[in-house]
Structure 1
C-alpha cells in the first residue's frame, strides 16, 4: 500500500494521461489512510502537514519533502516505501 501512495503522490501532483488529478479527491483519501494519524488536521509531526497540496510542497522542519518533477527521488517516497517500522 505504501508503494501505491508513493506512486499516487509522484504522479498525482501533476497531470497524467487520464487528465488532471485532483488533490482533494484522489490523493487526500490515500493520505488519510496512511499518514493521517501524524500529518493531517491539527497534527503536524515534524512540522509537516499534508492537509493541502501546498502544505506537502512546503515541506517540514527538515526541509523539502517533495519537489514537483522529482517525486521519485523525494524524501517522501523514501519514507513511504521504507520497511523500517520506526519510520513508518
Structure 2
C-alpha cells in the first residue's frame, strides 16, 4: 500500500521530466509550461523557477559539478546550480 507524502504544485502544464540532485536534497521538474522548478525535498517548497524558450522534455543532473541538463523542443540547455 502506498500513501501520498507530499504534493508539489506550481507547474501550469504537464510535467515531462524530473531528476533528483546527486545529494538527494533537490528535485528538478521540467514542464510543458516552459519552466524548470527546483524543489527542496525536506520542505516540498519550490526553491526557484526558470523559464526557457521551449517546452521541456527531460532533465539530468551531472554529479559533482552543480550542472543540470535539460532537453526541449529548441535544443539542449546546460544550467549551473549553486547552493
Question: Where on the TM-score scale, by shorter chain, does this alignment land: which range?
Answer: under 0.3
Q: Which has the higher contact order (CA 8 A, sep 6+)?
A: 1
User: Which protein has the bigger helix share?
Assistant: 1
Q: TM-score when scaled to structure 1?
A: 0.25
